[in-house]
Amino acid sequence: MKLSGGLVLCFAALFLSLTPVHGIKRLHTINDLKNVDFGRSVPKHSLLLLHWFANTIDIDNNDVMRLTFDPNLGTYGSHHYGNYERILDPLPHGNIRYRYYTVGNLNRGQVDLPVYVLHPPREEFRGRNRDRIIFRVREQTTGWSAGETIDEVYITQHFENSNEGTRYDPAHTYRITTNLLRQIREFSVEENQRNSLMELRDDFGSNISDSHLQNLLAVWRELACLGLLLFMILEEKYNQNNKPRPADRRTPPHCAINVPEEIQNHYSPLQSLRGVFAQDQIHLEVTTGPNGKALIHWRDVPEDRLNQQVMVVLYKDNSSQEALYSKVIKTSDGHVNTSVLLNPGLQARLHKTRVKYCFWTVAAEEICRGREFENPDKVRLQDYDMYLQLFVKDGKAGARLFVDKTFTYWRSQFNKSWVGFYENEHKTTQEYEWWQWQWATKFQPASTTVDHFHDVYEYHSGMTITPGVQARFILRNYSVLARTPSWR
Ligand SMILES: *[C@@H]1O[C@H](CO)[C@@H](O)[C@H](O)[C@H]1NC(C)=O
Ligand SMILES: *[C@@H]1O[C@H](CO)[C@@H](O)[C@H](O)[C@H]1NC(C)=O
Ligand SMILES: *[C@@H]1O[C@H](CO)[C@@H](O)[C@H](O)[C@H]1NC(C)=O
Ligand SMILES: *[C@@H]1O[C@H](CO)[C@@H](O)[C@H](O)[C@H]1NC(C)=O
Ligand SMILES: *[C@@H]1O[C@H](CO)[C@@H](O)[C@H](O)[C@H]1NC(C)=O
């Protein structure tokens, strides 16, 4: 407000008796919003309205806020607000004309308010048309012109009690500072302005977990940044006056959530070779994780790679270009439990990243790749031209019999023989897994394994593969003809 000191004093004196306006709290930061009683005395919907408003006006580098619509035309359900109840400061008199406007009437704004304000994706955020935004405009000229400046913004609400008519409730009116509007704008849902969810989380000191972020994304989809803002305000109501202020946000995006994404094929074998044989002796391996899921291990990823932001990506096999799982990594050694059921062929690769759709980080150029996950070798049955192999299929243990094509009488030879599964190699032969065994003669021809010298038969058990698991080929008198190596 650029009025002379004298004028200000004069008006202050004039209205002092009429206007107890000092009760209105100012909210400067997102943390300040956490102290507002949303969901009880203040509708949660007003957060959506505020988010929309913050992203609808312009704020320039000098913190000058400008209108992008004409409130006199009723755009977004806006209209002039007379402040007759004196909830807000009386308008300054002088050469410059000020006016209050209110916006957010859902009935009147139906045509131009965005869908998420009118019909939020979650019931708890539905508006009951009580909450409003009031803003004060400083009119440069007579009549409206684009770029009128806004000098004050409030959130408020109509009294719930209809006896109060359409009055606004001064006890639940808050002044919103330009700084807070700026912070809220970081959570824009506009495609070209959207920030990465993880970046927002880190910059605003939220503790939301990666899996929560994934849930947020599932529910709020393209509104996920708004979802994160709401989560922080409503779910993280800590008093965090000692938290560091958000850093300057003009740093490049440095993180995002791990959404398996179609990999753009920037692969070049040369790059891969350089990755493997030159300065980076990076080690990548797929092993057996909990519940039959694949686990990715990495070792010796150099610092400079980590600083550029890299991700481990799981593929079906060496020839696949379709990512099954991916995760941005931050340490040079580590592991991650993936959600992918273990199967032979699975391969981990290290990729550079780039940000796509603003808040999804996807794999870019490949840096290097590990070996395909393999079943252990088959073992020979004592004295016979026959082999036993332990294998994994979709996280479950299976056994395969390789029978030499010349061994035609094997069925009668092993009529009462069976294959048992054991939790580990130390179990006695009687301690086989109950139900997890099968007669050798009941094994089914294996369709996928081709072997020119052997007929291949297999049995799929229901036993989840874990490190230590072993299969044994057993005669009716409990003599063991073969033991596979323990599963690694
Ligand atoms: C994050 O966790 C720390 C430690 O538990 C806590 O002090 C801090 O307030 C939390 N921040 C938020 C935003 O919840
Ligand atoms: C894996 O695929 C790459 C690229 O297609 C190829 O150069 C390499 O020889 C393959 N490795 C194996 C073990 O098949
Ligand atoms: C992976 O799973 C194992 C076994 O449940 C657990 O000990 C380990 O902490 C998990 N690792 C991560 C990074 O969650
Ligand atoms: C073993 O062979 C006998 C006849 O030779 C047959 O009746 C029996 O069903 C066979 N058992 C199995 C488990 O294949
Ligand atoms: C079990 O039977 C096989 C062949 O029938 C025989 O060679 C072996 O000695 C027997 N083992 C025991 C412990 O009886």
- Note whether 326 and 398 are same-domain residues: no
**Ligand 2 proximal residues by C-beta, below 6 Å:** 269, 318
Asked, for residue 362, whether it belongs to a domain, the answer is: yes
Please name the residue whose Cα sits nearest to atom 5 of ligand 1. 207
In Å, what is the CA distance from 236 to each residue of 31, 136, 223, 478? 9, 31, 19, 61
State in Å: Cα 414 to ligand 4 middle: 9
479 lines ligand 5 (CB under 6 A): yes
Asked, for residue 9, whether it belongs to a domain, the answer is: no
Asked, for residue 10, whether it belongs to a domain, the answer is: no
For the chain, the domain total comes to: 4
Asked, for residue 1, whether it belongs to a domain, the answer is: no
State in Å: Cα 427 to ligand 5 middle: 20
Return the pLDDT at 441: 94
What number does the ligand 3 atom closest to the CA of 337 have? 1
- Note whether 65 and 130 are same-domain residues: yes
pTM assigned to the model: 0.49
Three-state SS string over the chain comes to CCCCHHHHHHHHHHHCCCCCHHHCEEECCHHHHCCCCECCCECCHHHHHHHHHHHHCEECCCCCEECCCCHHHCHHHCEEECCCCCCCCCCCCCCCEEEEEEECCCCCCCCCCCHHHHCCCCHHHCCCCCEEEEEEEEECCCCCCCCCEEEEEEEEEECCCHHHCCCECHHHCEEECHHHHHHHHCCCCCCCCCCCHHHHHHHCCCCCCHHHHHHHHHHHHHHHHHHHHHHHHHHCCCCCCCCCCCCCCCCCCCCCECCCCCCCCCCCHHHHHHHHHCCCCCEEEEEECHHHEEEEEEECCCHHHHHHCEEEEEECCCCCCCEEEEEEECCCCEEEEEEEECCCCCEEEEEEEEEECCCEEEEEEEEEECCCCCCCCCEECCCCCEEEEEEEECCEEEEEEEEECCCCCHHHHCCCCEEEEECCCCCCHHHCCCCCEEEHHHCEECCCCCCCCEEEEEEEEEEECCCCCEEEEECCCCCEEEECCCCC
Residue 316 belongs to domain spanning:
283-369
pLDDT digits (tens), the chain, 488 positions: 343 443 334 343 333 333 345 579 999 999 999 999 898 889 999 999 999 999 999 999 999 999 999 898 889 989 999 998 888 989 988 888 899 999 999 988 888 999 999 998 877 888 889 999 999 998 866 555 656 899 999 999 998 776 666 789 999 999 999 999 999 999 999 877 777 888 899 899 898 887 778 777 877 888 999 999 998 998 887 544 434 334 333 322 222 223 323 332 333 233 222 222 333 478 999 999 999 999 999 998 988 889 888 999 999 999 998 889 999 999 999 999 999 999 999 999 999 988 765 566 777 889 999 999 999 989 999 889 899 999 999 999 999 999 988 888 999 999 999 999 999 999 998 888 877 889 999 999 998 777 777 899 999 998 999 999 999 999 988 999 999 999 98
Asked, for residue 2, whether it belongs to a domain, the answer is: no
End-to-end CA distance of the chain: 72
Please name the residue whose Cα sits nearest to atom 11 of ligand 4. 415
Please name the residue whose Cα sits nearest to atom 7 of ligand 2. 269
Domain boundary among 254, 277, 300: 277
Domain boundary among 236, 251, 277: 277
Residue to mutate (ligand 1; options 34, 183, 201, 207; most atoms within 8 A of CB): 207
- Note whether 40 and 101 are same-domain residues: yes
Distance of CA 212 to the CA centre of its chain: 7
Please name the residue whose Cα sits nearest to atom 10 of ligand 2. 318
Residue type, 129: N
- Note whether 416 and 365 are same-domain residues: no
Structure tokens at 98: 């000020």
What number does the ligand 1 atom closest to the CA of 207 have? 1
Structure tokens at 110: 């139906």
Please name the residue whose Cα sits nearest to atom 14 of ligand 5. 477
The residue to which tokens 């040079």 are assigned:
332
Asked, for residue 49, whether it belongs to a domain, the answer is: yes
Rounded CA-CA distance 311/328 in Å is 4
Angle at 115 between CA 151 and CA 165, to 5 degrees: 60
Return the pLDDT at 234: 87
- Note whether 206 and 342 are same-domain residues: no
Structure tokens at 158: 């109509």
236 lines ligand 1 (CB under 6 A): yes
- Note whether 238 and 108 are same-domain residues: no
What number does the ligand 4 atom closest to the CA of 439 have? 13
- Note whether 439 and 295 are same-domain residues: no
Return the pLDDT at 39: 85
Instruction: Identify the CATH number of the domain in which residue 298 sits.
Output: 2.60.40
Structure tokens at 222: 């393209």
Residue to mutate (ligand 1; options 204, 240, 242, 245; most atoms within 8 A of CB): 240
- Note whether 82 and 160 are same-domain residues: yes
Residue to mutate (ligand 5; options 416, 474, 475, 476; most atoms within 8 A of CB): 475
- Note whether 289 and 260 are same-domain residues: no
Domain boundary among 277, 300, 315: 277
Asked, for residue 476, whether it belongs to a domain, the answer is: yes
- Note whether 393 and 468 are same-domain residues: yes
- Note whether 288 and 267 are same-domain residues: no
206 lines ligand 1 (CB under 6 A): yes
- Note whether 345 and 392 are same-domain residues: no
290 lines ligand 3 (CB under 6 A): yes
Asked, for residue 3, whether it belongs to a domain, the answer is: no
What number does the ligand 1 atom closest to the CA of 232 have? 13
Q: Which bound ligand lies closest to the C-alpha atom of 411?
A: 4
Q: Identify any residues that bridge with 438 across adjacent strands, giving them in sequence order.
A: 419
